[in-house]
Chains A and B, each alone.
Chain A
């Protein structure tokens, strides 16, 4: 078969779309990693209020304090990148944590409690996911409903009161969250909590950047129809985002139970969904889905904790915490949409 459309075809030069100079590189970096710059500014402010801010002890303390919300925020990042939202994480922490304490008290084994928390969290996440993908209800509605439902179950089970860790296992279980690795007389050690946090961040970051599943999450959040038409099983991906969030909430609930040694059903995990969303927003993830980084959420969670510290140091009344957080979320999202408009 002989076929020739052109007798002559002029090849064009490849257009250079973006400059390669240092200035362009810098702006590109700034565009993608705005959170790094706000983080730097915040460190300067924090150091102003507390000169020993950058000491080893303080940094590990900061990591330890931001662990639980940070782990939840990692799951929230997936859900938001996929273009959805999960409002039920706070109540889920209470439900999983409360029942986890019951399991601990009856079996006396922290390991069994850990596996229970992970499995139960995964199960609750799957409920959210299946309601969104199979029953085709908007994520906002599904998780708003499960948010009140989960809370109500645990409050009823605890008759409005707390689930306390049994004194028999109290001392050993407390060490899960309060313990340090490599602790010695001249070394403060690494808090177990921080190890949990960093390990989960690394695993999640790996999943999001280096596996097919991660790519699919971005694709679904950016353009679900196009993702479906390249053969991606969008229902599976969206369900899995909730399942993974549930799993991480299970881990967080386990750690929280150890940290508090008591789960007060009516108020534990209250507004954690807000903190998680705030961490994700500050970390530069697009609220409309399609882009974002786990590392950003990691930094975001730490920044949120730093802000709380600064408020105390600056002697701003603790009741105004909510106001400040609200403003921060708005500012982060405004910055984000301005970036998008420029792009």
Chain B
């Protein structure tokens, strides 16, 4: 075995994050590490990368017993860690980021910039990344940033690369590119530990798998011996049996009609109608202007032209509070940055929209907020210890449910959900779908922005596919298939027209 981690236990105070976990990776092997959020994947990898020492247990690399690991030592041993959150410094150039902490100096002890540029260029070429190493990282797309991060591991000839959900921000084409690089690396004898939630990716790129659950080792083996259903079962430890999904046509009246709205540089001439009780999914690929559209529909981004009619009345976007009072609620993407108020309790996080939209009294009474909390905790099945704990003490899924409850309380008619299941585990995702479908059954309308087809298929009545800031196709439930969505999202139909002309 190339890498062996034996009986690793890691405790944070009373919390046992890893309980006697053993994990091994062979040479030139792509090893998928599976587990729900909080299963201990990141903790295990942090032990390996030397971020913190294990409470007990041993690590062997090439038969050599590693002790007193720290980040620098682990990197020197050839272990590269590509983090989920980008660890790049926006104000520095690409090559400066690549060589950060490992700068090459010339004989006078000053930076040897030409050599660093040259080496950076080389490694970027290897990755099919055709941009100048002198670009400032701040101006790069998230997907390119991710590739730069990976390039850093390649630059220093890492023998073992840990990739923690590297494809989150990548489009399918970029993922293909990444996979071909990974295969090339594997042929060169490099081992890769690949952490991901996306089953199709894991099955297509990885050789072996290891499953962790609740900090414990569950199973290890070859991907070719299992299928996605078995893998999901191993992951969640309980079977999520999916019933046949049947949906009847929505018969409600049109509640919202969007007419030719444009926000220059992001999206143009977007028009669609939304009925009562309808779940409308809007999908597309990275950079299609979806995120900006979701903000604009909530009044968080100025429109250049066009209008939105709500129940026959033109919606005034001047203040978000006005939009809220008219009955539109929003669950933004990137929970950490856009929806969680980290210093506030669960209760106060839940009540913020209520204060803005509904609270009329001069002062806040505890009776009021307690009632609010109890009702909505039940509605959204939120599992908490005490309502006065900080929201950050909850798991991602429960945090997201708190955020949805914000709008349940003020009884919004329309819910804009921007990537509502981002970064939450499989079990919580299913509960989220249940909440969304429940809302629609009660006559609420939902606009869900999502890039995951299985998710769209589970809830959507209708789906709009965006391509480069425009609506490229509208698919009914009967027409909904992953192939079609991809076809329109990649703009394949449009290129065809261009060729004919």
Contacts and interface: CB of A to CB of B under 8 A. Distances in A.
Given A17-B394, A229-B338, 11 more contacts: A8-B241, A15-B385, A17-B385, A18-B389, A216-B355, A218-B343, A218-B348, A226-B339, A228-B300, A232-B321, A290-B344
A314 B281 CA distance: 72
B298 A215 contact: no
Nearest to A222: B343
Contacts of A206: 363
Contacts of A225: 337-338
Interface size class of A (residues with CB under 8 A): 35 or more
A8 B437 CA distance: 17
A16 B437 CA distance: 29
For the residues of A in contact with B, the DSSP-based class is loop
Given A14-B383, A219-B341, A223-B342, A231 B243 contact: no
Given A5-B433, A225-B337, A212 B359 contact: yes
A2 interface: yes
21 contacts: A6-B434, A10-B238, A11-B381, A17-B384, A17-B386, A17-B393, A18-B386, A212-B356, A212-B364, A215-B364, A218-B348, A221-B343, A226-B332, A226-B339, A226-B341, A229-B332, A229-B338, A230-B406, A231-B356, A290-B341, A290-B344
Contacts of B384: 14, 17
Interface in A220-270: 221-223, 225-233
Interface in A69-116: none
B362 interface: yes
B310 to A, nearest CB: 16
A20 to B, nearest CB: 8
A226 B362 contact: no
Contact of B441 (A1, A212, A221, A233): A1
Interface centre among A8, A14, A206, A229 (most CB of B within 10 A): A229
Interface in A177-206: 206
A343 interface: yes
Interface size class of B (residues with CB under 8 A): 35 or more
A12 B385 contact: no
A222 B340 CA distance: 9
Contacts of A210: 363-364
For the residues of B in contact with A, the DSSP-based class is loop
Interface in B143-166: none
A95 to B, nearest CB: 33
A16 B348 contact: no
A38 to B, nearest CB: 21
A34 to B, nearest CB: 16
Nearest to A210: B363
Given A2-B246, A5-B433, A231-B321, A223 B340 contact: yes
Interface in A13-40: 14-18
Interface string A279-295: 00000001000110000
Contact of A286 (B323, B343, B359, B394): B343
Interface centre among B248, B343, B359, B433 (most CB of A within 10 A): B343
A7 B386 contact: no
Contacts of A223: 337, 340-342
B49 to A, nearest CB: 20
